[in-house]
Amino acid sequence: MASIKEIAERSGFSISTVSRTLNNYTDVNAKTREKIMQIAKEMNYYPNAVARSLVQKKTHTIGMFFGNKENSALDHPFFLDIVSAVREEMGNQGYDILLFTNKTKEHSTLTTLCRERSVDGVVLLLSGEGKKRTEQLDELQDSNIPCVAIDIPLVGDRCTYVESDNYTGAKEAVNYLISQGHRTIAFIGGDEISKQSFDRMRGYQDALMENKLGMDPMLMRLGYFSKTRAVEEAGYLLAHKPNITAFFCVSDQMANVVIEFLNSRGMNVPEDISVMGFDDIKEAVYFRPRLTTIRQNKYEMGTQAARILLQTIDDEATRPEPVTLPCELVIRESVAKPRHI
Amino acid sequence: MASIKEIAERSGFSISTVSRTLNNYTDVNAKTREKIMQIAKEMNYYPNAVARSLVQKKTHTIGMFFGNKENSALDHPFFLDIVSAVREEMGNQGYDILLFTNKTKEHSTLTTLCRERSVDGVVLLLSGEGKKRTEQLDELQDSNIPCVAIDIPLVGDRCTYVESDNYTGAKEAVNYLISQGHRTIAFIGGDEISKQSFDRMRGYQDALMENKLGMDPMLMRLGYFSKTRAVEEAGYLLAHKPNITAFFCVSDQMANVVIEFLNSRGMNVPEDISVMGFDDIKEAVYFRPRLTTIRQNKYEMGTQAARILLQTIDDEATRPEPVTLPCELVIRESVAKPRHI
DNA sequence: TTGTAGGCGTTATCAG
DNA sequence: CTGATAACGCCTACAA
């Protein structure tokens, strides 16, 4: 409750002198400072961030968007590390994080939401559905709001993104399968809109081509990062291509249900058939068999995103550049040499 | 950039009329309204939440505390559902969530942080270390800031908490073990400061007493919800009480490492020895063997916490009451009848 | 070194 | 129905 004004009255000094003191300006008499500080402490003063933000046009807050409801990024294990990293980095630099959750304003645009709340910057953690709001993303990209997206290729004067090297990662996965002797490798991809889905598919295709294995469209299906879809597609693939020896699923969660599905069909992984995932989420170690997969460096993605955002906020001039982080092959138990070798 | 003032100038009406219009007051001439709305749209007007908050003393923001660094609640699977639920509930009621992460102000007290940011209420998600800041918790509890804590017994005029019925849950766990024929049941508890640790320990003890099995202090150790500690204690227990047939660990994470530890000692779970957990975190289904445990209804805890907080914010009068939610026994594979039966 | 005055964008009170 | 005018709490020239 104690305001700068009350301290001024109590101390006998003016509001501005009190303000200067509290903000550690140097041009304040030592004794004056002492007295004011003393009184401030007595009155248990704390600055009102809202008032300060209003005049300074700086909130020391960065906004964060997740998908809404069903598809909340918060519920996806992949985003956890990212949030954690962003939080750490932002915290160190004196920022708090505002989670945009107000459903009352669902008709509002991302940009408007940011402006209303006057956040200093924003990080986008949108999954599936969220990425479809392309007009909104365009608007944000063209606004001057500092922004870093995860896995969404936004590019603007103050806007960029962080991603994994999905292409190389996928390629590595397939190369590994090939190195183990697999020749008929099924692909359960993501969707047709997200860049990461596209890149992983290209990686799969190019690996096959470079190994002169040819590319059979009948081996490729889209799973939309959905567990039920993934199972359906696995069934479809198996029905049409019974000689498949390995599945490359573009997410660990899909890989997991595919393994369960195969088991239910009486096939053992990896003895009868191999399965590879992508992401390396925490649970992957617990899957049975433990999942061989491609690790995305999630924490690093978050750290980078935060740093770039901070940099963009601090410096009007520099235009942020996209960052692509390397993936890593994690060999565990779900891939083995195919039977006939 | 467009402010209410600019709209006033452009439209020829006064600031107050514009404000009333924008806020859907009824006492505005239809034509006036139309014109103003038109211009507002043209100028792409959006209200400045900061300015509004300043005058209304209401930010439509609720604060959220997590532990700091190493012990961040964000990193603990248990809290995820809670956050998710709080987010859902708060969003529906028009609130955004502010994650307190600013490390620059680590010397500040919880209460001060809330006041500075003028959050309308706060939910506490503190783990281990965080709970030790008792003076701060007392201060918050005695402040008039609407507050709901998870698993921390705060009680004040505008402050309360939500927890699971840990006592009954633990009792149920032990009763189940007993029903399976176990007589020498080791206990790996939490810490000596948290209520939930205490309650679970009491549940364990009472279940033994009520079954007239007696209570051997040598069977009880504290694991502090730490993986390494849990393993150490399991080793200690086994060394001193080789006839143990079951371990009851008060968290799934501890149960998991205990299982791994037992395996490394050449003991199979549950054939040679049984293990029970507590929490039912997502990963528990993936443990091998799949973990038998006590489920906390995490999502419901979050929902309740949010509702109570909202209620407390809206109504100065009602004093919030603590809520204790029932647990649920989840039988999977990690418990079997002991060998000698 | 200190004080005065204006303003940040809104809401709210009170005349007219 | 509309318009001054005064807050909200703080910062920041500019003056003194």
Can you give the pLDDT at residue B340?
67
Distance CA A188, CA A296 (A): 18
| Residues A50, B117: C-beta atoms closer than 8 Å | yes
- Residue lying closest to nucleotide D6, CA to C1': B55
Residue B122: band (very low, low, confident or very high) from pLDDT cuts 50, 70, 90: very high
| Residues B97, A96: C-beta atoms closer than 8 Å | no
Distance of CA A266 to the CA centre of its chain: 37
**pLDDT tens digits, B209-234:** 999 998 999 999 999 999 999 999 99
A 103-122 near B (Cβ less than 8 A): 103-105, 108, 112, 115-118
B57 touches strand C (CB under 7 A): no
Query: What tokens were used for A288?
Result: 């049975």
Query: What tokens were used for B181?
Result: 């024929």
Q: Cα separations (Å) of A173 from A190, A263, A325?
A: 16, 22, 16
Can you give the pLDDT at residue A78?
77
Enumerate the residues of chain A whose CB falls inside 8 A of the CB of residue B117. 49-50, 96
Residue A74: band (very low, low, confident or very high) from pLDDT cuts 50, 70, 90: low
Rounded to a whole number of angstroms, the distance from the CA of A208 to the nearest CA of chain B is: 33
Kindly provide the residue ranges of all beta strands, DSSP E only, lying in chain A, ordered along the sequence.
61-66, 96-99, 121-125, 147-150, 159-164, 185-189, 220-222, 246-249, 274-276, 293-295, 323-325, 328-330
Can you give the pLDDT at residue A72?
57
Nearest to B101 among A96, A101, A108 (CB): A96
Contact in structure between A162 and A331 (CB atoms under 8 Å): no
Can you give the pLDDT at residue A184?
97
Distance CA A2, CA B264 (A): 61
Q: Cα separations (Å) of B253 from A31, A75, B190?
A: 56, 19, 12
Q: What is the mean pLDDT of residues B188-210?
A: 96
- Is the pLDDT confidence value at B132 over 90? no
Residue B185's beta-bridge partner residues? B246
Amino acid at residue number A293:
T
Query: What tokens were used for A303?
Result: 């750290």
Nearest to B96 among A48, A92, A98 (CB): A98
Can you give the pLDDT at residue B75?
67
Half-sphere exposure of A296 (CA within 13 A, CB side): 29
Q: How far is the CA of B121 from the C1' of D9 (A)?
A: 20
Contact in structure between A161 and A131 (CB atoms under 8 Å): no
B49 touches strand C (CB under 7 A): no
| Residues A103, B84: C-beta atoms closer than 8 Å | no
Q: Minimal Cα distance from B53: which residue of A?
A: A50
- Is the pLDDT confidence value at A123 over 70? yes
| Percent of chain A's residues with pLDDT above 70 | 95
- Is the pLDDT confidence value at A341 over 60? no
A 210-239 near B (Cβ less than 8 A): none
**pLDDT tens digits, A308-319:** 999 999 998 889
| Residues A286, B287: C-beta atoms closer than 8 Å | yes
Of A84, A88, A195, nearest to A137 by C-alpha is A195
Q: What is the mean pLDDT of residues A48-54?
A: 97
Query: What tokens were used for B161?
Result: 């908490």
Residue A130: band (very low, low, confident or very high) from pLDDT cuts 50, 70, 90: low
A58 touches strand D (CB under 7 A): no
- Is the pLDDT confidence value at B5 over 90? yes
| Residues A286, B282: C-beta atoms closer than 8 Å | no
- Is the pLDDT confidence value at B341 over 60? no
| Percent of chain B's residues with pLDDT above 70 | 95
**Could you tell me if B278 lies within 8 Å of chain A, comparing CB atoms?**
no
Q: What is the mean pLDDT of chain A?
A: 93
Sign of CA dihedral A207, A212, A213, A216: positive
Q: Please enumerate in sequence order all residues whose Cβ is within 8 A of that of A67, keeping only pairs 6 or more positions apart, or say none.
A: A73, A125, A126, A127, A128, A129, A130
A51 touches strand D (CB under 7 A): yes
- Is the pLDDT confidence value at B67 over 80? no
| Residues A75, B84: C-beta atoms closer than 8 Å | yes
| Residues A282, B283: C-beta atoms closer than 8 Å | yes
Distance CA A270, CA A289 (A): 8
Residue A127: band (very low, low, confident or very high) from pLDDT cuts 50, 70, 90: confident
Can you give the pLDDT at residue A70?
53
Residue B165: band (very low, low, confident or very high) from pLDDT cuts 50, 70, 90: very high
- Torsion of Cα atoms, B20 then B23 then B28 then B29, to 10°: 120
Rounded to a whole number of angstroms, the distance from the CA of B52 to the nearest CA of chain A is: 10
Rounded to a whole number of angstroms, the distance from the CA of B231 to the nearest CA of chain A is: 18
Residue A27: band (very low, low, confident or very high) from pLDDT cuts 50, 70, 90: confident
Q: How many CB pairs under 8 A join A and B?
A: 127
Can you give the pLDDT at residue A133?
80
Whether cis (ω within 30° of 0) applies to the bond prior to B217 is no
**Could you tell me if B97 lies within 8 Å of chain A, comparing CB atoms?**
yes
Can you give the pLDDT at residue B267?
96
Per the document, the length of chain A is 341
**pLDDT tens digits, B255-301:** 999 999 999 999 999 999 999 999 999 899 999 899 999 999 999 99
- Torsion of Cα atoms, B54 then B56 then B62 then B66, to 10°: 30
Nearest to A49 among B66, B103, B117 (CB): B117
Nearest nucleotide, CA A27 to C1': C1
Rounded to a whole number of angstroms, the distance from the CA of A183 to the nearest CA of chain B is: 30
- Is the pLDDT confidence value at A68 over 80? no
Enumerate the residues of chain B whose CB falls inside 8 A of the CB of residue A101. 87-88, 90-91, 95-97
- Residue lying closest to nucleotide D11, CA to C1': A55
Q: Cα separations (Å) of B282 from A44, A103, A282, B229?
A: 44, 27, 11, 22
**Minimum mean pLDDT among A279-288, B82-91, B332-341: which range?**
B332-341
Can you give the pLDDT at residue B200?
98
Q: At what angle do helices A49-56 and B49-56 cross, to 10 degrees?
A: 140
Q: Please enumerate in sequence order all residues whose Cβ is within 8 A of that of A58, keeping only pairs 6 or more positions apart, or say none.
A: A120
Rounded to a whole number of angstroms, the distance from the CA of B153 to the nearest CA of chain A is: 26
Q: How far is the CA of B6 from the C1' of D10 (A)?
A: 23
Query: What tokens were used for A300?
Result: 């690093």
Distance CA B175, CA B235 (A): 24
pTM comes to 0.94
Enumerate the residues of chain A whose CB falls inside 8 A of the CB of residue B96. 98-102, 117
**Could you tell me if B72 lies within 8 Å of chain A, comparing CB atoms?**
yes
- Is the pLDDT confidence value at A329 over 80? yes
Residue A106: band (very low, low, confident or very high) from pLDDT cuts 50, 70, 90: confident
B12 touches strand C (CB under 7 A): no
